[in-house]
Amino acid sequence: MALTAVVAIPLVAALLCWLAPLRKFAWVITLISTWTVLPLAVLVSAEVLSKGRVIGLPGWIEADAFGALVLTLVSFVAALASVFAGGYMRRREHEHSRLWWFYCNYNLFAFALLSVPVLTEPNLVWVGVELITLFAVLLVGFEKTNGALEAAWKYAILTMMGAPISLLGFFALFWAYRSAGGGIPETWEGLRMLGPSMDPNLLKLSFLLVFVGFGAKSGLAPVHTWLPDAHSQAPSPVCAVLSGVKTTVPLYAILRLLSIVLASPAARVGNWMIVLGLISVGIAAFLLLQVRDYKRMFAYSTVEHMGIILTAAGFATRGSDFGAVSQMLNHAITKSLCFYVAGIILLALSTREINSVHGLFRVSPFAGSALVLCSLAIAGAPPFPIFLSEYAILSAGVRAEQHAAVAILAVLIVIAFVAILWHVNRMVFGKPTIPYSVESLPVSCRLAVILAAAPVVLLGVYIPVPVHNLLQLAAQQLGGHGP
């Protein structure tokens, strides 16, 4: 019951935003819908912890641990982003009459994001991921500047190019399912059970195609080029959702497929995943050294973390799966915080260039300290949660005897760390060059930053037992063997 409500509420909210008399209240409607969805999602996760599976519509909408985790993440980020969006959009957007379109789109976007983790049929998952892309494109191009249109165009073309490829991959998956005899309804669970008896060639082909198709949407190299552009041009709340969860959801789908492929002993794809993941991390790390725009900086950091998750999944051990899943969680909450901070910097100083920002700490202590906090967190410094999950991944890799990969990964993470902190250092300290704008930061933005910072600070030192259990259960879904 709660599960169906989670999916249905944003859809209703979008409809309400569209209705003419209610357009002025679009933001309030969005707030109400996302903040209702969040506790419902937490409820679903709690149920999953106790029962193992939650069934919304039998056969269509079900949640297991991994799905519940992603669902909760999505709802958390969406809720905070809608808080942030209130002040931000009002400040940035000059035509207030267009804002209802933004919120309508935002709700549809949330609907699509929430539906993917809980759909059981892989083909419907494809439809869901495509819908996510479509709404994201509309949101990225919202500001209608030249840069925004270019970013939206690149985004649209690069990701929609992946759509038919992944569709073919899902068809091949269905073929493999039929070659194993069928009988069980085609759901993720059913496919995992049939895994060993499916044609390994078809499985490999299917995985390759789906990986290529969805990888573009997750920002994996070499088709990550849309990410920095989209993130620098889209409104900050949208960026938060994009980076935090929208890149994670296709990766979720890829990891589901990976668990099916790993169930069939004849198909070995782990090493490929490691290599591709390392390529992503490498490209991101080196591009971080020469980035000029701080929103792009955070975008490259997203590419880096997606690569880390992919590498972790490639190690295919239980420890590394746990690392991958916790990295997903930590990245979602940290990255959304980063983009809220980037948003308030943009509001305060109206420039995106790193070189133009100096002495942020003196200009706005709130923004400065938030920036220091979030950049330390995203770069992977202790005592923040990303440090913990990266450590878990590295140690799992060592236990899995992938020494070369672990070494390269560690080096690249350090490079990225140095790059991010160097840029942030230039921004935060020193003498301010740009005069501060007279208006102070909107209340809703400050509130969103504080609310988002809380779990980041908390999870770095203490992981509550239910969260830990949820992560454990989710990791089991990924199908790794060994330590």
Partner 1 sequence: MADPQTSIPEALNTLCAGLVLISAFAMVATRQVQGVVRFFVIQSLLLSASCFLLGYSRNSRHLWTLGAITVAAKVIAIPWILRRLLPGEFYERREISQAVNIPASLLISLFLAILAEFLVGPVAAANTDPLIRINLPIGLAGVLIGAYSLIARREAIPQLVGILAMENGAFFAGIAIANELPLIAELGVALGVMLIVVVIGLLSRNIRLKLGTTEAGTLSELKEEATSWR
> Which range touches partner 1 (CB under 8 A), out of 9-17, 153-161, 382-390, 442-450?
153-161
Q: How far is the CB of 227 from partner 1 (least distance, A)?
A: 11
DSSP label at residue 442: P
Q: By CB under 8 A, is residue 272 in contact with partner 1? A: no
How far apart are alpha carbons 300 and 288 in whole angstroms? 6
User: Per CB under 8 A, which region of 152-160, 312-320, 388-396, 449-457 contacts partner 1?
Assistant: 152-160
DSSP secondary-structure letter at 118?
G
The residue among 156 and 467 lying less far from partner 1, judged by its C-beta, is 156
Q: Both tokens of residue 325?
A: 């899943």
Which of 29/116 has CB closer to partner 1? 116
Least distance (Å) between residue 456 CB and partner 1: 28
Q: Which of 12, 55, 101, 123: binder of partner 1 (CB under 8 A)?
A: 123
Q: Which is nearer to partner 1, 76 or 214 (CB)?
A: 214
Does 22 interact with partner 1 (rule: CB under 8 A)?
Answer: no
Which one among 8, 46, 49, 131 touches partner 1, defined by CB under 8 A?
A: 131
Among 127, 410, 447, 451, binds partner 1 (CB under 8 A): 127
Angle between helices 403-428 and 294-315 in degrees, nearest 10: 160
What's the min distance (Å) between Cβ of 280 and partner 1? Answer: 16
Find all residues with CB under 8 Å of 48, minimum gap 6, and list them.
54, 63, 64, 65, 68, 470, 473
Determine, following the binding rule CB under 8 A, whether residue 138 of this chain makes contact with partner 1.
yes
Distance of alpha carbon 297 from its chain centroid, rounded?
16
Alpha-carbon distance of 413 to 37, in angstroms, equals 35
Q: Which of residues 175-234 bind partner 1 (CB under 8 A)?
A: 175, 178, 182, 199, 201-202, 205, 228-229, 232-233
For position 15 contacting partner 1 by CB under 8 A, the verdict is no
Do 35 and 448 meet the contact criterion of CB atoms below 8 Å apart? no
Identified binder of partner 1 from the candidate list 18, 25, 35, 153, rule CB under 8 A: 153
Residue of 171, 356, 457, 463 interacting with partner 1 (CB under 8 A)? 171
Distances (CA, A) of 473 to 114, 116, 236: 20, 19, 33
Binding segment for partner 1 (CB under 8 A), chosen from 138-146, 188-196, 271-279, 444-452, is 138-146
Q: Counting runs of H as helices and runs of E as strands, what totals does the chain give?
A: 20, 2
Q: Binding residue for partner 1 (CB under 8 A) from 134, 274, 379, 428?
A: 134
Query: Smaller CB distance to partner 1: residue 151 or 452?
Result: 151
Closest distance to partner 1 from the beta carbon of 433 (Å): 14
To partner 1, the closest distance from the beta carbon of 307 in angstroms equals 18
Among 56, 117, 141, 385, binds partner 1 (CB under 8 A): 141
Could you say which residues in the range 441-460 bind partner 1, by CB under 8 A? Answer: none
Q: Considering the rule CB under 8 A, would residue 126 count as an interface residue with partner 1?
A: yes
Stretch that binds partner 1, among 159-167, 256-264, 320-328, 392-400 (CB under 8 A): 159-167
x/- map, 332-371, partner 1, by CB under 8 A: -----------------------x----------------
- Taking the complex as a whole, the smallest distance from the CB of residue 157 to partner 1 amounts, in Å, to 6
Q: Is 114 a residue that touches partner 1 (CB under 8 A)?
A: no
**Of these, 118, 152, 274, 416, which contacts partner 1 (CB under 8 A)?**
152
Confirm or reject binding of residue 157 to partner 1 (CB under 8 A). yes
The C-alpha atoms of residue 440 and residue 347 are separated, in whole angstroms, by: 9
Tell which one of 292, 403, 468, 481 touches partner 1 (CB under 8 A).
292
SS3 content of the chain, % helix, strand, coil (to 5): 80, 0, 20
Interacting residue ranges for partner 1, rule: CB under 8 A: 121, 123-124, 126-127, 130-131, 134, 137-138, 141, 144, 146-147, 149-154, 156-157, 160-161, 163-165, 167-168, 171, 174-175, 178, 182, 199, 201-202, 205, 228-229, 232-233, 287, 290-292, 296, 355
